[in-house]
Structure 1
Amino acid sequence: MRFGPAIAIAAWAALTPVLPAPAAPASAAEGPPAQFLGEYEWRMDARWFGGFSALALSPDGGAMLVMSDRGLVFHAAILRDGDRIVGIRPAKPGRLRSSEGKRLQGRAGDSEGLAIMPDGTFCVSFEAVTRVSCFAYPGANAVPLRRLPAFRDMPRNGGFEALAVDRRGRLYTMPEDKLDADGNIPVYRWDNGTWSQPFALPSRGRFLPVGADFGPDGRLYLLERSVSPLGFRSRLRRWDVDEDGPKGERVLLQTGDHDNLEGLSVWRDGDGRLRATMISDDNFMLFQRTELVEYTLPD
């Protein structure tokens, strides 16, 4: 973090949900860690630029769909020199719209999670008015998925931040700041027009889920964030998921070296390496940065 503790506390008091008390020490398996590849600070002189909460990369890592938490979404080319990102070339942004074609704004437009479906449409999870909707393309009208009664009982600043789609086209989402009765993170799955709650993930320490993805290896990856007077910390965990639920929990990364990482996309590069690309939300604040951060992951 690039600013002092007093500023951090003031800036985040209204933005960050109250953090739960620390859980028992983590018991996830430890193994070869993620390896840092590079960090690119993305800057643009445009009023709409910033607040990016999610991204989804193409299979070759050369393009991405990016979304802000103010209902803006667009495609962009990623320019690379070897392992490092050296530039971003965005297309014209589009606005997320309601099913009636109205621009989503305010709490209704608090778009946080992003997942591209097998047919090329994309789905979005919303935090403040907790729900999931799908779109044929940037600027298309929403196709809202049915809401469960439980979705209406989420904290105002703790609803659905993370969204992921598996190989079978099933969507998975979870609240940022609402644990189940056992103190775990409840996971909701959309499959064939129905929501279910197939499993929960262990909550460990003060980290809260902000991004998720199923990698090309079929495993579930979860990006988590914690905030303190000293700054942001990020953690990346993964699981094998089958019909019996998640197994083989593993911590791949835990660091305080970056800004407010919220978006996650896992892909495999031309050398066959698993990569995690993450993007930070600058909250439209001068003392924060929009960063794209990349790590290679162990198989």
Structure 2
Amino acid sequence: MTAVRLLLLLFLGLASVACPHRARLLGAGPLSIRAEPIIAFEPGAPARTRFGSLDFVGGLALTSDHPPFGGLSALRLEPDGEGFVALSDRAYWLRGRIVYQDAVPIGIAGAAMGPIIGPDGRPAEHWDTESIARDGDTLYVGIERLNAIARFDYGRLGFLAPARLIAPVAEIAKLPRNQGLEALVAVPRDLPLGGALIAVSERGLDEAGNISAFIVGGPNPGVFHIRRSGDFDVSDAALLPGGDLLLLERRFTLTGGFAARIRRLPEALLRPGSLADGPILLSADRRHEIDNLEAIDVGRAPGGGLRLTLLSDDNYMPFQRTLLLQFEPAATSF
């Protein structure tokens, strides 16, 4: 259970039913996802499309009657920018395809869900799965609370691929249970850290209050830190083609609701012993169409170029939403 979800549950007096339909989540198969368009990112200024260094393209509010749907915490896009694999923090895969009209997202097609299979061949229903990294046909999944990383032969076996836990990383294993491993990125082989995984904690802090991050494997493994500010916690990360790291961060308060931002960390600072920081590309709060934003990826726009896709985790709460939001870099910003 994430700190955000616990705070919401305690606020509503619902902590005793934090997992109300665990027993019903053991189905797998296709599902229908309804999509309501989000035309304006800031409803109070509907004509505005530029937000920081990004242009809002469009979005969708997603719903489904399929019991496992919700709690989406990670996303990786296929090279075509349409296909995707996501996961919920209750250890379910979700795959599908984003449907576009005039380069604007209008729906989800071909969706299917299935339980993540643990090393013992059974559904890993107790795993808090928070992050995905893609290295070709191999997927890596970060497991919060366990603070472990699992490897899946997804390209060959899909949902049937069993988890293979990689060798424990001592520094990651020491992270807090509920604010531990939160973001995971695979570095392409043609970059300086090629072949490594970059793992970032939600709120595992050093003595100076900076966020702990880890380079796992590759040519230069080790620990670095990211400057923390504004009481934001890490919720996901993605790499730009040149190697810069986009960090998705979120904050929740009972008085202000959710806030989110995207920070760009230069590739040159992703090194053992470094303290990384960088410019904020996007800031959003309750004036904007956001919820508990938990997932980010960088993909190809329908007409070419880069497009950022964000997903929110509804915490399986009826008053929260599963949102898919898309932005493109402003012409002068990337």
Give the shorter-chain TM-score range.
0.7 to 0.9
- 2:180 corresponds to which of 159, 168, 171: 159
Cα shift readout 1:73-104 (whole Å, capped 9, x = no counterpart): 13201101123211112443222122221211
- 2:281 corresponds to which of 249, 252, 273: 252
Matching residue of 2:129: 111
Matching residue of 1:184: 210
Cα shift readout 1:190-241 (whole Å, capped 9, x = no counterpart): 11599521x2111111110010111223211100010011211111001221
> 2:153 matched to 1:136?
yes
- CA 1:76–1:195 in 2, change beyond 3 Å: closer, same or farther? same
- 1:225 corresponds to which of 250, 275, 278: 250
**Residue aligned with 1:177, SS:** strand
How far apart, CA to CA, are the structure 2 residues paired with 1:148 and 1:95? 25
Letter in 1 for 2:324: L
For 1:1-299, list aligned pairs within 5 A.
10-11=11-12, 33-106=53-126, 109-118=127-136, 120-137=137-154, 138-167=159-188, 168-192=194-218, 196-197=222-223, 199-229=224-254, 230-242=256-268, 245=271, 249-256=278-285, 257=288, 258-297=290-329, 298-299=333-334
How far apart, CA to CA, are the structure 2 residues paired with 1:7 and 1:173? 26
CA contact (8 A) 2:235 2:294 kept: yes
Cα shift readout 1:216-274 (whole Å, capped 9, x = no counterpart): 23211100010011211111001221377376711101101201110110123244432
CA contact (8 A) 1:8 1:231 kept: no
Cα shift readout 1:120-162 (whole Å, capped 9, x = no counterpart): 1100001111111110122311111111333333222101111
CA contact (8 A) 2:227 2:277 kept: no
Greater CA drift, 284-293 or 92-101: 92-101
Greater CA drift, 286-295 or 149-158: 149-158
How far apart, CA to CA, are the structure 1 residues paired with 2:105 and 2:327? 12
Task: Indicate the RMSD between aligned Cα atoms, in angstroms.
Answer: 2.5
Letter in 2 for 1:276: L
Greater CA drift, 185-194 or 33-42: 185-194
Q: What is the aligned length?
A: 275
Unaligned 5+ residue runs, structure 2? 1-6, 19-50, 189-193
Letter in 2 for 1:129: L
**Residue aligned with 2:279, SS:** strand
How far apart, CA to CA, are the structure 2 residues paired with 1:143 and 1:195? 21
Relative contact order, CA 8 A, sep 6+: which one is greater?
A: 1
**Residue aligned with 1:49, SS:** coil
Shift of 1:34: 1.4
Unaligned 5+ residue runs, structure 1? 1-5, 16-30
**Residue aligned with 2:203, SS:** coil
Matching residue of 2:47: none
CA contact (8 A) 1:216 1:267 kept: no
Task: Provide the TM-score with structure 1 as the length reference.
Answer: 0.84
Shift of 1:47: 0.6
- CA 1:48–1:170 in 2, change beyond 3 Å: closer, same or farther? same
CA contact (8 A) 2:152 2:161 kept: yes
How far apart, CA to CA, are the structure 2 residues paired with 1:149 and 1:156? 14
CA contact (8 A) 1:261 1:278 kept: yes
How far apart, CA to CA, are the structure 1 residues paired with 2:269 and 2:319? 45
**Residue aligned with 2:211, SS:** strand
Task: Provide the TM-score with structure 2 as the length reference.
Answer: 0.76
